[in-house]
Amino acid sequence: MNKQKMNKNHYVAIMAGGIGSRFWPMSRTDFPKQFLDILNVGKTLIQATYDRFAHFIPAENIYIVTSENYQTIVQQQLPALNPENILCEPSRKNTAPCIAFISYKLAQLNPEANLICAPADHLITDETTFQEICIAALNFTSHIKALVTLGIKPTNPNTGYGYIQFEPYAVSDNVYKVKTFTEKPDRELAKTFVASGDFLWNAGIFVWQVRNIVKAFEKLLPEMHEVFDAEKAAFNTAKEKEAIEHIYPQCVNISIDYGIMEKADNVYVIPSSFGWSDLGTWASAYETLEKDYLENAVAGDNVMIIDANRNMVHADNKKLVLIQGLDDFVVVDTSDVLLICKKEKEQQIKDYVAEIKRNKGDKYL
């Protein structure tokens, strides 16, 4: 899209505060997955996300919300970003406070602000369609008091995603009223959802006018609204950091999905297909990467595979890694940790990380 045509009221908040523990041992507490090139494509996940939005959102309207521990990493990886557009959270309190931070700040800065909130660590392969859908969502929310979420047309009964059920009739071109949100279902329920055709995966990408999400906080998370509203005059001033350090300890740890989206009566969804993966686990990386003739997905230039099938292998290009006889494993080799784990057990990597913390402290986390 031509830069001149960009709408000065369009903003994006890229949420980049997570620790990505299911991508251990590549993802570490001090350098989590959003700052890594998980798929060996030449740019990190946050860089790819920034570039995706820079095509249609004015550069000065792109914000990163992250932990204060990652401020320097964000500056290093996104040198084009104005350092003032890095919003640092003093503690992790899930997505509702994170979205409140950017929303109340923008409400003071530009009452007409129309905002996309998106995670920093998702993969999107069809960027043209993604851009078209985002612009359609922004156009819809610019004149309708709506909270919009992008729903992904499911390709399989995945149990790792939340699901959104939508009404059968569109209220606008490809925009539907949301009926229900369902957290991660079991396999049988997921199969039923996919077969019915009226369920979508919840991608965690939201679009709304800032004034409307502020109203939703006021109505549905009134205590959080009160603490942000009380300090709003400090936003976009030298006192903002101090205000946020005062606000965050008073905020409940809650996701925007639980806190607002599941309760609001003005939630809409746009069914979408743009090659989306939340890259939540090594198995999702496996699904995304090209495979060899034995269905192994390899990220690393110096990996040899002999009589081994359907493995996800990630290794440093400098080290020769040879794998023989493994079927359906995740193998991740870093400078100080080697992980060899059955692919079907990789949802438990979070538990293994907790076990390591108990036995070995924080050294390998």
pLDDT of residue 19: 82
CA 303, distance to chain mean position in Å, is 30
Residue 326 to residues 12, 296, 345, Cα–Cα distance (Å): 43, 10, 15
pLDDT, tens digit, 9 for 90 and up, residues 278-324: 888 888 889 888 999 999 999 888 999 999 999 999 998 888 999 99
Distance CA 31, CA 85 (A): 20
pLDDT, tens digit, 9 for 90 and up, residues 33-51: 999 988 878 899 999 999 9
Distance CA 69, CA 259 (A): 26
The tokens for 101 are 């931070």
Distance CA 176, CA 312 (A): 37
Domains of the chain (ranges plus CATH)?
3-277 (3.90.550.10), 282-360 (no CATH)
SS3 assignment for 264-286: CCCEEEEEECCCEECCCCHHHHH
pLDDT of residue 344: 87
φ/ψ (deg, to 5) at 77: -85, -25
pTM of the model: 0.92
Cα angle 310, 311, 315; round to 5: 150
pLDDT of residue 107: 97
Alpha helices by DSSP H, 27-159: 45-54, 71-77, 95-109, 127-143
Q: How would you write the pLDDT of the chain (365 residues) with one tens digit per residue?
A: 444 478 999 999 999 998 888 889 988 988 999 999 888 788 999 999 999 999 999 999 999 999 999 999 999 999 999 999 999 999 999 999 999 999 999 999 999 999 999 999 999 999 999 999 999 999 999 999 999 999 999 988 888 888 999 998 989 999 999 998 888 888 888 898 888 888 999 999 999 999 999 999 999 999 999 999 999 999 999 999 999 999 999 999 999 999 999 999 999 999 999 999 888 888 888 988 899 999 999 988 899 999 999 999 999 888 899 999 999 999 999 999 999 999 988 878 888 999 999 999 889 99
φ/ψ (deg, to 5) at 167: -70, 155
pLDDT of residue 317: 82
Among all chains, which residue has been given the structure tokens 């009964």? 157
**Pairing verdict, β 10-15 and 62-67:** parallel
Distance CA 44, CA 64 (A): 15
Side chain identity, residue 273: S
